[in-house]
Structure 1
Amino acid sequence: MEKANHQPVALSSLSLLPFSRLLLISRPALWINTLGPLVTGLWLTGRLYSLEPPLLLLLVYLTLPFNLLIYGLNDLSDYAEDARSARKGGWQGARLTRAEGGPLARSIWLLNLPFVPLLLWLLPPAAWGLMLLSGLLFAAYSVPPLRLKARPFWDGLSNVAYAFQLALPALVLGADVPVLPLLALMAYSVGKHAFDATQDIPADRAAGTRTIATTLGTRRGAAYALLWFALAGALLWPISKVTAGALWLVCGGMALALWLRPTPQRATQLYPLSIASPWLVGTVAGVPLVYLLARGAWHGL
């Protein structure tokens, strides 16, 4: 089997990529995965309209800059896999050319570095440390020498970084961290990674990349994802039975559907539901929560 060369694409250019290209690489359809936990974490503190400067800064940073860091580094390191992936080249992720490597790397740094002193200045140490840990985990997922994406089981476990934003509002505002929702979101993130990775099994195997999905295969990968979704719902059950039920129905349902028909093609068909799952489950959780907040009947966990 041909082994992929995981050296980043060329980094010599001093130019920048156009904004439209950077926007595509940052995968706006997935911004909900960073912004959603932050907003939900704010609501869970009992403060519906808190727009303090640290939270406003985080709202801005967790859009294009942070997502470009996540997915830009991923695209730079996954050149071999993405070249073989039929789903790359559109809204599901860019397919880079060699010439774009340098401009993309430069753009990532220029968009992220200005936020570092601002975050250090405005965030309390615990919140800053959590943001730093999140960024390091995302970088470690994609970038050699760790490149956790190519380390089965570690690849999915590193995706708990998507959940960290849920704790940031509590750390900023001096409230209690919502432990059970945080743990539930961690479990959901691990399960979602395993589910989403199954559609990339052919491209990853062709590139010689071992992932949780290539290791377990489609059927066992679906079962593995289902176990994490079950755990996530169980953690939410004491707080909101309706939200737990929605997570089991949407996420558990798509994992079960893949388990019953375990092919990468089926995973690709179900992927739009996976993309929509934060919106669907978040709406079920968020609408009653905002209603209670607006009535003054929710004062935080």
Structure 2
Amino acid sequence: MEGSGYSGKRVRAAQNRLTWRQLLLVSRPALWINTVGVAVTGLWLAGELWSTRPGWWLLLLYLTLPYNLLIYGLNDLSDRAEDAHSARKGGWQGARLRGGEDAALLGWMLLLNGPLLLALALLLPGSALLVLLLSALLFAGYSLPPLRFKARPVLDGLSNVAYALPLVLPALLLGRPLPLLALLAVSAYAVGKHAFDAVQDIASDRAAGLHTTATRLGVRGTALYALGWFTVAAALLWPLSRLSALALLLVCGGMAAALLRRPTLVQAGRLYRLSILSPWLVGAVSGVQLVYLLVRGLY
């Protein structure tokens, strides 16, 4: 018992080494739209503007800080070698962990994820819980050995379909038909966006000996690869919303085309800000349409 109490004190002491600001930096709030926004879009696709179900509210809460801390915390813990060569880490684009902070981060991840997952297990249907756990396992597999999809070209991007899975959670919660075409479109977008965003890290990844789709294809090849996936995503969206499909082609296809015209790491870094905004821009176009149709009773 004394050993257990001592271990608990060590964990609490380690957690105190990280401030809430540092935890927010690790969780990358600018990217929360990839979890919260996708789930809200899934609710609208299920035919509801909002839901008063406790499971929905708790799910939304979980998809903010706790879930994103899990996604990016594991990534930061496993990417120390690459992050040491990356000038963009240490700010809003991701934390650069110092010595001794790994135990603190793991402690906070367990504290924020464990209780909420247990509560969600009681409030969500079994199918929704399984999809949520599958998404978490894919993210863990992306960062952690022995799978570490991040270090496996092609699989690094394909594993990012995990970002699309929250889209089906509201339908499973409410017992509605699954938005399969939208799921496939968001999945294709996620694969292309992962490749596009990885271009700016080619130099640091190669310096750390990491092999990714981007390091294999190079700047120009990865831009073409991403453009192909964005085109597939737009084609899948076309039957659902031509305006959304065109917005995706304009924003995401446009940034891939801009990188093709000037295939340099500097250009990739400049375009990354547009890539961060892309889900907000395309999501706004899609969301406004869905809300309008729901309010008018046309969806």
TM band (smaller chain) = over 0.9
Instruction: Report 1 or 2 for greater relative contact order, CA contacts < 8 Å, sequence distance ≥ 6.
Output: 1
Superposed, 1:68-217 pairs within 5 Å as: 68-217=69-218
d(CA) in 2 for partners of 1:265, 1:54: 44
The one-letter amino acid of 1:88's match is: K
Instruction: For residue 179 of structure 1, report the CA deviation from its aligned partner.
Output: 0.8
Tell whether the 8 Å contact from 1:38 to 1:167 is kept in structure 2 after alignment: yes
The one-letter amino acid of 2:133's match is: L
The one-letter amino acid of 1:141's match is: Y
d(CA) in 2 for partners of 1:21, 1:13: 19
What's 2:4 paired with? none
Instruction: For residue 116 of structure 1, report the CA deviation from its aligned partner.
Output: 2.0
- Work out the number of aligned pairs and report it: 287
d(CA) in 1 for partners of 2:181, 2:102: 40
The one-letter amino acid of 2:33's match is: I
The one-letter amino acid of 1:172's match is: L
d(CA) in 1 for partners of 2:94, 2:10: 22
d(CA) in 2 for partners of 1:75, 1:100: 11
d(CA) in 1 for partners of 2:240, 2:106: 42
Cα gap change, 1:260 to 1:13, in 2 (>3 Å): farther
d(CA) in 2 for partners of 1:80, 1:61: 29
* Identity percentage of aligned residues: 64
Runs of 4+ in 1 over 4 A off after TM superposition: none
Residue deviations 1:226-263 (CA, integer Å, cap 9, x gap): 00000000000011000000000000000111111111
Tell whether the 8 Å contact from 1:166 to 1:182 is kept in structure 2 after alignment: yes
Instruction: For residue 49 of structure 1, report the CA deviation from its aligned partner.
Output: 2.1
* Structure 1 SS opposite 2:109: helix
The one-letter amino acid of 2:142's match is: Y
* Structure 2 SS opposite 1:221: helix
d(CA) in 1 for partners of 2:121, 2:289: 34
Superposed, 1:25-40 pairs within 5 Å as: 25-40=26-41
d(CA) in 1 for partners of 2:90, 2:30: 14
Residue deviations 1:143-167 (CA, integer Å, cap 9, x gap): 1111110011100000000000000
When normalised by structure 2's length, the TM-score is 0.94
d(CA) in 2 for partners of 1:32, 1:290: 17
d(CA) in 2 for partners of 1:58, 1:94: 25
Tell whether the 8 Å contact from 1:13 to 1:103 is kept in structure 2 after alignment: no
* Structure 2 SS opposite 1:152: coil
d(CA) in 2 for partners of 1:31, 1:178: 21
Instruction: For residue 217 of structure 1, report the CA deviation from its aligned partner.
Output: 0.5
Tell whether the 8 Å contact from 1:13 to 1:102 is kept in structure 2 after alignment: no
* Structure 1 SS opposite 2:122: helix
Residue deviations 1:67-106 (CA, integer Å, cap 9, x gap): 0000000000000100110111110111111221111111
d(CA) in 2 for partners of 1:92, 1:274: 12
Alignment gaps of 5+ in structure 1 = 1-11
When normalised by structure 1's length, the TM-score is 0.94
The answer to which structure has the higher helix fraction is 2
Alignment gaps of 5+ in structure 2 = 1-8
What's 1:228 paired with? 229
Instruction: For residue 13 of structure 1, report the CA deviation from its aligned partner.
Output: 5.7
Superposed, 1:222-301 pairs within 5 Å as: 222-298=223-299
The one-letter amino acid of 1:82's match is: D
d(CA) in 2 for partners of 1:171, 1:130: 9
Residue deviations 1:139-192 (CA, integer Å, cap 9, x gap): 000011111100111000000000000000000000000111100000000000
d(CA) in 1 for partners of 2:34, 2:113: 18
Instruction: For residue 51 of structure 1, report the CA deviation from its aligned partner.
Output: 2.4
* Structure 1 SS opposite 2:274: helix
Instruction: For residue 222 of structure 1, report the CA deviation from its aligned partner.
Output: 0.4
Kindly report the root-mean-square deviation, in angstroms, between the aligned alpha carbons of the 2 structures: 1.0
